[in-house]
Amino acid sequence: MVGFEGTHFNSDLEFLISTLKVGGLILFAQNIVDPDQVRDLCSSAQARAKACNQPPLLISIDQEGGKVARLKAPFTEFTGNPHIHNIDDAAHFAEVTSRELSAVGINMNMAPVLDVALPGPEGIMRDRAFGDDPAWVTTLGMTVIQGLQAKGIMAVAKHFPGIGKTRLDSHEELPFLDESLELLEKEDFLPFEAAIQRGVAGIMLSHICYRQLDEEWPASLSVKIANELLRKRMGFQGVVMTDDLDMGAVTRHFTINKAIRRILAADIDIALICHKGPAIETAFEELLRITAHDAAARTANEQSLSRIMKLKTEYLGS
């Protein structure tokens, strides 16, 4: 799943869809002008995928409300998760957001944030989380998931296993967290466990290194976290994706080739690369190279394809 530049179908999108055969797109503010333009952009991209005999594209956006909302007026602007005060507020956000996304051809929302914030002003997620009470985060998060998916918008719970306790921004650097598994299970895992039970379409992994879960790799590249914990122990069989592989937490420590190899090893389905650049084509070429020569990687790739196609069939009728 990739980002791109421009507000209309262009040669870059033609290359991404026709040649690299990406499975999805992610939109940012730079791709947005108004509802008619977004609708035309999404329609043109889907038409190109169909013309290439490919399944429908996942077309996603970060529309959390507040500081992370790519769609501005005339789309409805919400004040963000910290200002959702009750279940009715959460249901209203999901109902309005799903309606507006569907109307322009966006089929996936990178929301809700299920991170449990640190009490007080220090946590990195204080302006994006529902709060610091795991039960409250769970209640509001499940309301948003149910509301989005009931209207045909795939919800993506983020950022597993939870980044609410971190103070360093993974957009810039790789944060480390030393919390025990017992504490994470008691607090941070609770909303994600509920999301799995509710059939959330996707889960996004964080670029955080949880030292007591995996001393070496961030969650987004970790076999122990993505495969052994999320898949096997917690039983999630839906689509798992990385956070943006262009973020400093990854680019300052790992090559895109290494990241792709780790993603295949960890049973992760979607590599998210949000910015135009050589990393997208390099990732594509690395996927081809590995799956051509490594039977285990080829099997992992086929399993990911199966999960993605199941999701597309359910929501997009492919």
Q: Roughly how many angstroms between the first and final C-alpha of the chain, as a whole number?
A: 17
Query: Does residue 190 fall inside a structural domain?
Result: yes
Query: Does residue 98 fall inside a structural domain?
Result: yes
Query: Does residue 2 fall inside a structural domain?
Result: no
Query: Does residue 78 fall inside a structural domain?
Result: yes
Coil, strand, or helix at residue 7?
coil
**How many angstroms separate the CA atoms of 253 and 174, rounded?**
8
Query: Does residue 3 fall inside a structural domain?
Result: no
Structure tokens belonging to residue 44? 């043109």
- pLDDT tens-digit profile, the chain (318 residues): 999 999 999 999 999 999 999 999 999 999 999 999 999 999 999 999 999 999 999 999 999 999 999 999 999 999 999 999 999 999 999 999 999 999 999 999 999 999 999 887 777 888 999 999 999 999 999 999 999 999 999 999 999 999 988 766 666 678 888 889 999 999 999 999 999 999 999 999 999 999 999 999 999 999 999 999 999 999 999 999 999 999 988 999 999 999 999 999 999 999 999 999 999 999 999 999 999 999 999 999 999 999 999 999 999 996
- DSSP per position, 8-41: S--HHHHIIIIIS--SEEEE-GGG-S-HHHHHHH
Q: What are residue 27's phi and psi, to 5 degrees?
A: -95, 145
| Domain encompassing residue 73 | 11-316
- Residue 288, amino acid: L
Which of 239, 177, 237, 238 minimizes the C-alpha distance to 207? 177
**How many angstroms separate the CA atoms of 10 and 75, rounded?**
24
β-bridge pairing 239-241 and 202-205? parallel
Name the catalytic one among 62, 115, 132, 243. Answer: 243
CATH code, domain carrying 237: 3.20.20.300
* Number of domains the chain is built from: 1
pTM: 0.96
- Dump pLDDT digits (tens) for 154-166: 999 999 999 988 7
267 is catalytic: no
**How many angstroms separate the CA atoms of 44 and 64, rounded?**
25
Which of 158, 209, 168 minimizes the C-alpha distance to 188? 158
**How many angstroms separate the CA atoms of 242 and 113, rounded?**
14
Task: Supply the pLDDT for residue 168.
Answer: 62
- Dump pLDDT digits (tens) for 241-294: 999 999 988 999 999 999 999 999 999 999 999 999 999 999 999 999 999 999
Task: Supply the pLDDT for residue 169.
Answer: 63
Query: Does residue 4 fall inside a structural domain?
Result: no
